[in-house]
Amino acid sequence: MWLNPEEVLLKNALKLWVTEKSNEFFLLQRRRGHGDTGGKFTGLLVGALDSVLDSNARVTPFRILLQMPGSQVSWTIACGAAVGEMNRHWDWLVQNLLHSLSVFENKEDVASFVKGKVKGLIAEEVRGRQAAQEEEPEKFREALLKFELCFGLPSSEKLVTTYSCCCWKGRVPRQGWLYLSINHMAFYSFLLGKEVKFVIPWAEVTRLERVSTGLMTDMVRVMTRRCQLDFSMFLSLDEAFGVIGQLADIALRRLLDSEGLELDRVLQQSSNITKRVLEEQALRTYVLALFRLPRGERLQEVALCSVWTPHARCHTTGTLFTTDSYLCFASREEGHCSLLIPLSEVISIEKAESTSLLPNPVIVSVRSKKAFQLIELQDRDSLVDGLTSRLRALQWKHSMFRSKKSLTSSSPYYTFCYDTMYCDGEDIEERALRQTVNTEALMACYHHSQPDPNNSTATMEQVKERLWEDHFPEYGRGVHMFRTEKIQKLVAMGIPESLRGELWMTFSDASSELASHPGYYSGLVTESMGQSSLATEEIERDLHRSLPDHPAFQNVKGIAALRRVLTAYAHRNPKIGYCQSMNILASVLLLYTKEEEAFSLLVAVCERMLPDYFNRRVIGAQVDQSVFEELIRDRLPELAEHIPDLSPLSSISLSWFLTLFLSVLPFRSAVCVVDCFFFHGIKAIFQLGLAVLDANATALCASADDSQALMILTGFLDQVKYDEDPSPPTPHPLSSQSGEEEGRPPVKQHTLITDLIADSYEKFGDLTVRQIEKLRCRHRIQVLQAHEDTTKENALRVVTPDVSLSPENLADVYDLFKTEHFINLYWGDGGTTLALQHHDPGRPYVEQYRVDRVQFKSLYMLLVPWLCGFHTDTVAHRTFTLLDQDRDSLITFREFAGWLDTLYFEELNEKVRLLYRLHIPPALTESEDDPSPLKSPQLSTTRPLHVELPNGEMRDFQEQLKQMLKDLAKEKEKDVEQPVPPMNQREFIQFCKTLYSMFHGNPDENELFQAIATVTSLVLQIGEVGHRSRCSGSEVSSEGGAGDEVEDDHREGSQEDHPVFSTEEEGERKEGTSKSSGSESQSEWAVSYAQILASLLTEQQLVNFFEKPMDLSAKVAEAKVKQYHERAGLLMLQQGTS
């Protein structure tokens, strides 16, 4: 294969390589020892060396070198393991390049020409490999070339797919091509001599919609913070809309919250993203949501097949999905029939004899002595082989886990001490309760109300139990039962309490996870014993707020069990830790399941069934609220018409989703909702929410304000009655209100929860998991961008009091700062620090986006008012070092905005102070590489110390500086800052060099150069005088006695009146009598900031230069245009020369 040219020394290379072919410019070499049959000692030695090396360090046996006649340096341009491949490369070089090279006279031109050709071949191979992954490689290759030529983005900006479409500008359509890449969407049109093109980062997309207008029936609308774009005339609009939504969603999750959101491992590397991968990812997301599988499961095979369904006495046609640990079957019509078989329950997978009635059958046997028959599998052999290999690996893994547990645990897993949080006076029985894991559900010990076996409630429970017992033999029992519409009806009636825990474990598949990891929960509890953290403090605060009216949580046993479950989960998943509403959910789980089972159910809910709900920003719940709003507009149009702003309704419904209605419905009614949730997932909550709003639509349309709408919904939910509950409606135990509130509108006397659930299935049961997942993908974009807007608003609010930038300019600078951060993530070379690779929303607002040195230099070039020519990079480097106060090699937006504020809006003395600090430590270091011949000269001058005024009068410089300092004192007083250290001669020369470079190209260049020359001479004289006085002072002080007093009196009467001379070295001189190193420090040449400032003020031309108003708005507007193209061009240049 072709390689980026690398230098090698022929003299050393010839010892290990044998030349097979050669000409004037190229060598084809074979590794010594490779292919030798003579058994020469050198060949054997080299062969042995290669064989023992690590695979990453082994050398390929063939290579081609580019050599220059008479030179000892060559370049490796190709290598390979097969002689046939290398011969093809050699023939290509001879036929296409060799004759052309003879016309070059310069060796360097020959090398550059060949290197460029080889890099072109490599780029062509990369395009070819990428194109080969597409359905139409040649067509994609052509599109890739056009994409690179039209938009000038770096080659690392990977193109995913293209679509022919129209982009509407007003009422004028522009036919062209839409290019979708991993970080951008771009459009190009050339029609009737007019070119239209634009590039939009996915990070700027805030909303995606399908809309209809008077001109077009169906369009894709892409909205950003600055514009709105409409696209139509797609050959397949559904496909294009889906890909656009996926790419925007993936990019925003990767850029804005890669830690908090679970992004598939394949998508973490953007180079892996292709159109085919996106299709697979969409299907995987759907399968995980449909069967509520763990988020880490990978989709392995998808096959059409038919499954024998005993209850229907026929084969049911559908699709088989296999993942790492599951076999999943779904009928053609979603919800009609489904089957979930964990591989941990499977004993064997066998191929049976194929017949005309049973083509390509496969038998799957499970531990419950049942078997499932699948037929009509097209690629049966490869499917069975893959399943068998994964089954063996899983069985080995579980056997190792069990053997490890048996070796490490010799006592029952449920006997241990939990913690020491109780006081010394606690009862012994109470201690025992806190130290023992419950092995039965709390409901077995504590009932809300003990039912009478003769009443209707007990009778109905018995009826439902018989229905389920009749159902199990026909449809199966356990996780691999057939899930059909009949079981949906049974669940809607309410699961009997005796079976509720078992069926929750079955529907969620927590049972197989628990069986595969025995003792896992007890280990977590043991590890988390006695640990204290923010999560444990929040848990302790909420323990007694969880179902406080239920007798199970009015005693130590129930509270201790709840504490153990929540603390163990916080220990298992510190990323989530503990979130409010988890306590309510865990309390209900403990009522109907054993403690260990309740923990497994909590894991299933938090990590699989409600993904991204329980994190710092509850992103998942907010996404579902946004989806719920769209469903209201689609399914309840009259309500949406009367209430255009649905955000108050979504705020009310947030608790419905977070607590599964447990916090708003009476307890027994809410548990029926949880039954439906474990069977149907979040789909059941969406349906029930729509049914609640539909039942109250008339009252809500007539409501005057949000508070009245809240009362309407609260009153309705309070009176929703459990099917068999004969008691009148009572307030929810979690509600602080009781009885009828004054002013609450009248509500229906009772609504049966079973009727409400049945109504939700009847009216909204056609809502599918596929629809929900598509809506989630689109609405996640809106939610993440809303969080970004909040972050920006708060960052600007924090920074605004400290700077003088206008709100518009500050907002634009923030956008430039964030864009620079993103550009590095788009096209960085992989050397980005870990802190920049992951956006952490948990950091303070002004620190969520930071830039490193390279990114800062790019912004510096765009925004600094005074460029310094070839010296600009050096000054930018020093500026970053100065701003990086915490020395983490990153600067925040607050620091960046403060720097810009100083340059554009501060007074002259602050601008000079900034320049001064750039030329003393820590900004200027001793090790800084400076090619200037004036790096650290020792200069001296004996010029007369006077200043020539404009009128020709000569004045002593001390009087002039004294007058200038008095003028400074009259200016507006500011906060007293820390005094800056003095500047030595080397630092002062660097300071002057920066000033000279700043003035280069200025219209008043000559006058400024003359002015700075005058100031430089003056400051050198001041420094020389100070240097001499300190040296002479040191000699006098060594004599001691009265001489010191005389000298001090003299200085009190002269120099203290002139702050120019009152440098910090003066203090050091006075302390020199008690320090042995005092005389050495006093002899150094130094000037202070005040001396340099006063000297600059003597030249009006310099004062005018620094006080000239500068337009930041124009600079920012120019930077917006340049930022993308300049960074892209620079990166392309770096990639081309690497």
Best CA proximity match to 394, nearest among 461, 324, 328: 324
The pair phi, psi for residue 671, each rounded to 5°, is -65, -30
Name the average pLDDT for the chain: 80
More confident residue, 358 or 743: 358
CA 398 to CA 383: how far, in whole Å?
A: 23
pLDDT band of residue 161 (cuts 50, 70, 90) is very high
What is the pLDDT averaged over residues 600-613?
92
Q: Which two tokens stand for residue 210?
A: 């399908």
Looking at beta carbons, which pairs linking 738-744 to residues 24 or more positions away fall under 8 Å?
A: 741/711, 743/711, 744/711, 744/715
Strand 219-224, strand 228-232: pairing: antiparallel
Angstrom distance (rounded) from CA 844 to CA 429: 47
pLDDT value, residue 1074:
39
- Residues 457 and 811: their CA atoms lie apart, in Å, by 64
Rg over alpha carbons for the chain, rounded to the nearest Å, is 39
Name, in order, each residue with C-beta under 8 angstroms of 156's C-beta and a sequence gap of 6 or more. 271, 826, 827, 1131, 1135
Residue the block writes with tokens 């089972």? 597
Higher per-residue pLDDT: 15 or 30: 30
Nearest to 186 by CA among 204, 154, 207, 162: 162
pLDDT band at 214 (very low <50, low <70, confident <90, very high): low
- What is the per-residue pLDDT for 548? 84
Q: Which helix (H) or strand (E) holds 500?
A: helix 497-508
Q: What one-letter code names the amino acid at 464?
A: K
Residue 136's pLDDT is what?
63
pLDDT for 1022-1063, tens place per residue? 888 887 877 776 555 544 444 444 344 433 333 333 333 333
pLDDT digits (tens, 9 = 90+) for 664-695: 999 999 999 999 999 999 999 999 999 999 99
- What is the reported pLDDT for 68? 82
Of 815, 508, 848, 556, the residue nearest 660 (C-alpha): 508
Q: Residue 549 CB: number of other CB atoms within 10 A?
A: 13
Res. 1072: pLDDT tops 70: no
Q: Which helix (H) or strand (E) element contains residue 1123?
A: helix 1112-1137
Residue of 781, 798, 719, 681 lying closest to 335 (CA atoms) = 681
Phi, psi of 1127 (to 5 degrees): -65, -40
Gap between the Cα atoms of 1021 and 1102, Å rounded: 19
The more confident residue out of 263 and 590 is 590
CA–CA gap between residue 177 and residue 287 (Å, rounded) = 33
- The whole-model pTM stands at 0.78
Letter for the amino acid at 399?
S
Q: What is the DSSP string of 548-590?
A: TTSGGGSSHHHHHHHHHHHHHHHHH-TTT---TTHHHHHHHHH
Confidence tier at 591 by pLDDT (50, 70, 90): very high
- Write the DSSP assignment of 671-716 as a string of letters: HHHHHHHHHHTHHHHHHHHHHHHHHTHHHHHH--SHHHHHHHHHHH
Separation between Cα atoms, residue 148 and residue 462, nearest integer Å: 71
Q: What is the pLDDT of residues 246-267, one digit of tens each?
A: 999 999 988 887 665 666 777 7
Q: Which two tokens stand for residue 408?
A: 């490490």
Residues 6+ apart with CB under 8 A from 633: 640, 646
Which residue matches tokens 């309500």? 639
User: pLDDT exceeding 70 applies to what percent of the chain?
Assistant: 77
- Both tokens assigned to 683: 């789909």
Q: Which two tokens stand for residue 616?
A: 């710092």
Paired tokens of 590: 């403990």
Answer yes or no: is pLDDT of 763 > 90.
Answer: yes
The pLDDT value given to residue 240: 94
**Collapsed DSSP state (helix, strand, coil) of residue 1087:** strand
H helices, E strands: number in the chain: 44, 28
Q: Which of 51-60, 189-198, 791-800, 989-998 has the lowest mean pLDDT?
A: 51-60
User: What confidence tens digit (pLDDT) does each residue in 411-436 have?
Assistant: 333 333 333 333 344 444 444 444 56
User: Pseudo-torsion of CA 974, 979, 985, 991, nearest 10°?
Assistant: -40
Going by C-alpha positions, the residue among 841, 762, 783 that lies closest to residue 624 is: 783
Q: Which residue has the higher pLDDT, 615 or 996?
A: 996
126 vs 271: CA distance, rounded Å = 12
pLDDT tens figures, 998-1028: 988 888 889 999 999 999 999 988 888 887 8
**DSSP code, position 801:** G
299: Cβ contacts below 8 Å, ≥ 6 apart: 280, 283, 284, 287, 321, 322, 323
Q: Which residues pair with 65 in a beta bridge?
A: 27, 76
Strands 299-309 and 228-232: unpaired
The larger pLDDT score, comparing residue 160 to residue 736, is at 160
Question: Using one digit for the tens of pLDDT, what is the confidence trace for 555-580?
Answer: 888 999 999 999 999 999 988 889 88
More confident of the two residues 959 and 528: 528
Query: Comparing 729-738, 749-758, 812-821, 967-976, which segment has the lowest mean pLDDT?
Result: 729-738
- Asked if the peptide bond before residue 933 counts as cis, ω within 30 degrees of 0, the response is no
pLDDT, position 157? 87
**Bigger pLDDT: 214 vs 517:** 517
According to the model, what pLDDT value does residue 24 have? Answer: 84
Q: Which residue has the higher pLDDT, 1022 or 957?
A: 1022
Helix (H, G, I), strand (E, B) or coil at 887: coil
Report the 10 Å Cβ neighbour count for 656. 26
For residue 63, pLDDT beyond 80: yes
Q: How confident is the model at residue 440 (pLDDT cuts 50, 70, 90)?
A: confident
Output the six-digit token pair for 135: 């359905």
Question: Which pLDDT band holds residue 645 (cuts at 50, 70, 90)?
Answer: confident
Q: With pLDDT > 90 as the criterion, what percentage of the chain qualifies?
A: 45
Residue 1136 has pLDDT above 50, yes or no: no
- Higher pLDDT among residues 275 and 979, named by residue: 275
Structure tokens that stand for 567 in this block: 């603390």
506 vs 924, higher pLDDT? 506
3-state secondary structure of 340: strand
Q: How confident is the model at residue 129 (pLDDT cuts 50, 70, 90)?
A: low
Count CA atoms closer than 13 A to 690's CA, side-chain side.
30
Beta strands of 725-808 (E only): which ranges? 751-752
Q: Are 685 and 620 in contact (CB under 8 A)?
A: no
Backbone angles phi, psi at 317, to 5 degrees: -85, 140
In the structure, what pLDDT confidence band is assigned to residue 51 with cuts at 50, 70 and 90? very low
Instruction: Give the distance from CA 1120 to its chain's centroid.
Output: 24
**CB atoms < 10 A from the CB of 1041, how many?**
7
